[in-house]
Structure 1
Amino acid sequence: MFHRTIAVTGALFAATIAGAQTTDMPFALDWKFEGPAAPYFAAIDRGFFEDEGLNVSIEAGSGSVDVIPKVATGAFPVGFGDINSLIKFLDQNPDAPVKAAMMIYDKPAFAIVGRKSQGVEAPKDLEGRVLGAPPPDGAWAQFPAFASANDLDVDSITVEPVGFPTREPMLAEGEVDAITGFSFSSVLNLKRLGVPEDDISNILMADHGLDLYGNAILINTDYAAENPELIEGFLRAVAMGWEDVRENPEAGIDSLMERNPAADAALETERLQMSMDQNVFTEWVKENGLGVIDPARMDSALAQLAETYEFQTEPDASLYFTDEYLPEGGFDVE
């Protein structure tokens, strides 16, 4: 639970804007309305955004590469996307007014998901086998650094380009031995296709040598400079939304289902829980706070990105991430 001081600060701030006209703030997600989006809908339904003077609307997305320009152009003042994609975007567009302002996925969901029955349980098992990977996939983009960290003989791995819709079905049918993807998406998609849970191996790259961070709240820096109190309030409400679904995931999924009634509530509850356990509320976050980053780890992450990406300018974390809209030390969790 967040410390009382943060809740009180938010309440006092909310009191100062009580009765004031709310500000519209469209928020661009990176993906569909699935379990990990529940905290943002919960923040709407519980009044966390409203208490900060914000009228937040949420738009589904089709990947981080799609979200970043939306925020950079100012079409959306805030978004949710992969910081590694942002780093590359800013290296190529150094004047673009967009930065990450709150880390959500302390561990990225990048994973190799395999079938134990097809011999894939650990990174080294990929050698001599077929790996299905959609070319635009974020996890596939990190595979070279993952392979380097695990000393894989990449020449012995047959990489099969696959589409996003066919990725899990091909693994379920045994046409490939493993796939790249987001852990909480691919694992649950396989279960939905009838693959037994005890036959699925979830090899999280962050647990096997990758220091990369994952998805973060992105801000348009021009908008933030002109409206710092609105950005601070937005981040506060986001933190409260995550804590709310952590304490009551079923209520969060109820909020999600109102926006996506065709979803499978049980499946999305499991997807949400996986994201919280593996990616958001990590041991590091519990000790150091939600939203902030470890500078030494970020330096290591930038070095790993440089293994497969040629930076045009010297990489510097301050170019991509700012903590100026967060409380000192981030949002405390227990």
Structure 2
Amino acid sequence: MSEFKTIALRCLLALSISLSTLVARDVSAAETAAPPSVAIHFTFDRPLDASMAPFFLAAKDGSFGAERLNVAFSSATGSPEVLARVAKGDSELALVDINELIRFRDKEDAAPVKAVFVLFNRAPYAIVARRSRGIQALPDLDGKTVGVADGDLSMRLWPALAQQNGIKASNVKFHRISPAVREPILSAGQVDAVAGFSYLSAVNLRDRGVPDADLVVLRYADYGCEAYGFAVVANAAFAAAKPEAVKGFVRALIAGIAATVKEPARAADEVASRIDGGDRELELERVRTVLADNILSDEVRRNGLGGIEPLRLERSIGQIAQDFKSRKRPAASDIFDDRFLPPVAGRLIN
């Protein structure tokens, strides 16, 4: 009987070892079958601010990792520089002003860089003025002095905006300034208004002590400007070789936007933690302004995040063309590629 028990135990042990080996082989095979993570170098076209919160929450919450993406962030000094990087392949994806992309694609030999996701459905361009200087609406700029930083993208749409609103452009004096003194010279009363982004300049001026009641934010979008704003662009070769990675990035970004809408305070914390001397309350005000003014438009609530209306984009291309002699005016299809967007149901947001 003892000998029988010994034989039985040996059989059970052998069976256990065989099963363990099979399980180990199955796990190893599953790990081998899983595709490796795709590395993406993502570049922002300016220093970090609250508008980038959805990207940072997507990273913090593991949304990029869930799509098997290894995303590294960096910043540059403007959309032209970033577009050059993307065109060369130094960055696979980037955030740029879509209106700068339109100008970039106007060149005959331009690389076929396209936007794959529009973050700002409404451009952030604005004239921030002081009511105490007699400015309540855009036509009140007649005879006034506006401070404009070198390279300010909003000025490229000013000719069309002025014409559309019956303003004689020559009656508005633009004073060239450094970006660093944009808010200080307005708060000091050296100019009547400044051109800039609504979520940056207006918030900065309030932070400098300019009374909210004395500030008026004249958003281009409220005066007939149909331009879209910041968009994610892709290197053409990367998008062709790794379409699923681009789609995964877009899905993760949508999750980041949803998280930002749901928890703006947490989004502000994440942004502030990445900025030297970041101010949580200041960034929270910016997050809320960006969501209300630029991201969650009526068009987005109707059609979902990330896309465009082709006719609107065509009209905005026409507005930009008024600012320079167009050599090869791009079409909407040259600027935006919707193949990487999920179905509308996956892009709707409350």
Same fold (TM over 0.5): yes
Equivalent residue in structure 2 for 1:258, among 260, 273, 276: 273
Measure how far apart 1:182 and its partner are. 0.6
Confirm whether residue 60 of structure 1 aligns to residue 75 of structure 2: yes
Q: Deviations over 1:160-182 (max 9, x none)?
A: 11110011111110000011111
Confirm whether residue 331 of structure 1 aligns to residue 339 of structure 2: no
- Tell me if the contact between 1:140 and 1:181 (Cα under 8 Å) persists in the aligned partners: no
TM-score normalised per structure 2: 0.88
Measure how far apart 1:73 and its partner are. 1.1
Report the 3-state secondary structure (helix = DSSP H, G, I; strand = E; otherwise coil) of the residue aligned with 1:56.
strand
The residue that corresponds to 2:15 in the other structure is none
Distance 1:34 1:17, change over 3 A: farther
CA RMSD in angstroms comes to: 1.8
**Matched AA of 1:31:** R
The residue that corresponds to 1:11 in the other structure is none
Structure 2 unaligned segments of length 5 or more: list them: 1-29
Of 41-50 and 187-196, more deviation after overlay is shown by 187-196
Q: Separation in 2 of the partners of 1:269 and 1:26?
A: 27
The residue that corresponds to 2:190 in the other structure is 175
- Tell me if the contact between 1:17 and 1:53 (Cα under 8 Å) persists in the aligned partners: no
Measure how far apart 1:327 and its partner are. 1.7
Q: Deviations over 1:126-163 (max 9, x none)?
A: 00111111231011222111111111122221211111
**Matched AA of 1:253:** A
Larger radius of gyration: 2
- Tell me if the contact between 2:156 and 2:320 (Cα under 8 Å) persists in the aligned partners: no
- Tell me if the contact between 1:18 and 1:53 (Cα under 8 Å) persists in the aligned partners: no
The number of residues matched between the two structures is 320
The residue that corresponds to 1:245 in the other structure is 260
Distance 1:250 1:27, change over 3 A: same
**Matched AA of 2:348:** D
Q: Separation in 1 of the partners of 2:108 and 2:148?
A: 27
Confirm whether residue 221 of structure 1 aligns to residue 236 of structure 2: yes
Q: Deviations over 1:280-318 (max 9, x none)?
A: 011110011111101111121112112222221243111
Distance 1:314 1:17, change over 3 A: farther
The residue that corresponds to 1:101 in the other structure is 116
**Matched AA of 1:333:** I
Q: Deviations over 1:209-237 (max 9, x none)?
A: 11111110111111000000000000110
**Matched AA of 2:41:** P
The residue that corresponds to 1:49 in the other structure is 64
Confirm whether residue 317 of structure 1 aligns to residue 341 of structure 2: no
Q: Separation in 1 of the partners of 2:156 and 2:322?
A: 11
Distance 1:100 1:248, change over 3 A: same
TM-score normalised per structure 1: 0.92
Distance 1:144 1:18, change over 3 A: farther
Q: Percent identity?
A: 34
Q: Quick check: which one's helix share is greater?
A: 2
